[in-house]
């Protein structure tokens, strides 16, 4: 069996994430919220840095329950800024709380965040066929539209590049290289 994988997956954590999560379409609002927060936290850092801190994020962000995170007050935010197991950037922590509140508003309006977010790809995953990492864009028209709409709804740390990384992580786009064994697996999941 061909186990060639995308060349960015080098570290054990990256390999496990690549092989079991990255690019699989998700429709669970809690997972959507998790990736929204983690992708925002990644801004300016490597994904490996975030993966190393992911379990700590789950612990201190109430397993990414947006209803709980939306109620975090200034005291809780200050405690999070002291938490060595996460990225302690004040703007990113404040953003997580702000985004939780906006997330709940979207759920109220659309019935679920999933129903809202998948509209940017017409309700189905975009199947790309990249041969090299150099071909993979940093952002797309869909990510730009998503970014604009999220910002309009009060979200932050949701620029087009972050939105595209979010789309990749949540399977809204299949950006596994065609040489990667996961590319075909993702296609089979959608068949």
- If DSSP states are collapsed to H, E and C, what string results for 51-103? HHHHHHHHHHCHHHCHHHHCCCCHHHHHHHHCCCCCCCCHHHHHHHHHHHHHH
CATH number of the domain where residue 180 is located: 1.10.340.30
Is 130 an active-site residue? no
> What's this model's pTM, rounded to 2 decimal places?
0.95
Average pLDDT of the chain, as a whole number: 95
Of these residues, 14, 17, 22, 164, which one is catalytic?
Answer: 17
- Polymer length in residues for the chain: 191
Has residue 106 been placed in a domain? yes
Has residue 3 been placed in a domain? no
Is 8 an active-site residue? no
Has residue 7 been placed in a domain? no
Kindly indicate the confidence band of residue 2, based on its pLDDT and cuts at 50, 70 and 90: low
The 10s digit of each residue's pLDDT in 6-64 is 999 999 999 999 999 999 999 999 999 999 999 999 998 999 999 999 999 999 999 99
Has residue 82 been placed in a domain? yes
Is 164 an active-site residue? no
The domain containing residue 132 runs over which residues? 12-190
Has residue 97 been placed in a domain? yes
Has residue 103 been placed in a domain? yes
Instruction: State how far the Cα of 140 lies from the Cα of 147, in Å rounded to an integer.
Output: 10
Instruction: State how far the Cα of 173 lies from the Cα of 74, in Å rounded to an integer.
Output: 36
Domains of the chain: total: 1
Write the CA distances from 121 to 16, 116, 137, integer angstroms: 26, 10, 16
Has residue 176 been placed in a domain? yes
% of the chain residues with pLDDT over 70: 98
Has residue 42 been placed in a domain? yes
What φ, ψ does residue 83 adopt, rounded to 5°? -75, 110
The 10s digit of each residue's pLDDT in 131-149 is 999 999 999 999 999 999 9
% of the chain residues with pLDDT over 90: 93
Of these residues, 47, 130, 164, 166, which one is catalytic?
Answer: 47
Instruction: State how far the Cα of 22 lies from the Cα of 141, in Å rounded to an integer.
Output: 21
Of these residues, 14, 34, 39, 142, which one is catalytic?
Answer: 39
Confidence at residue 49, expressed as pLDDT on a 0 to 100 scale: 96
89, two tokens: 């950037």
């Amino acid at each position: 069996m061909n186990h060639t994988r995308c060349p960015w997956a080098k570290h054990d954590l990256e390999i496990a994430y690549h092989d079991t999560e990255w690019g699989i379409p998700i429709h669970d609002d809690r997972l959507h919220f998790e990736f929204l927060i983690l992708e925002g936290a990644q801004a300016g850092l490597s994904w490996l840095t975030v993966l190393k801190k992911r379990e700590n994020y789950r612990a201190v962000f109430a397993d990414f329950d947006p209803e709980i995170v939306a109620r975090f007050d200034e005291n809780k935010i200050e405690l999070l800024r002291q938490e060595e197991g996460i990225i302690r950037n004040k703007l990113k922590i404040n953003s997580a709380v702000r985004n939780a509140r906006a997330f709940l508003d979207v759920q109220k309006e659309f019935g679920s965040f999933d129903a809202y977010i998948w509209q940017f790809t017409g309700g189905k995953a975009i199947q790309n066929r990249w041969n090299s990492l150099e071909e993979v864009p940093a952002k797309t028209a869909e990510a730009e539209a998503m970014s604009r709409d999220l910002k309009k709804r009060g979200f932050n740390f949701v620029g087009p590049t972050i939105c595209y990384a979010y789309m990749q992580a949540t399977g809204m786009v299949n950006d596994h290289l065609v040489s990667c064994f996961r590319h075909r697996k993702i296609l089979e999941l959608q068949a």
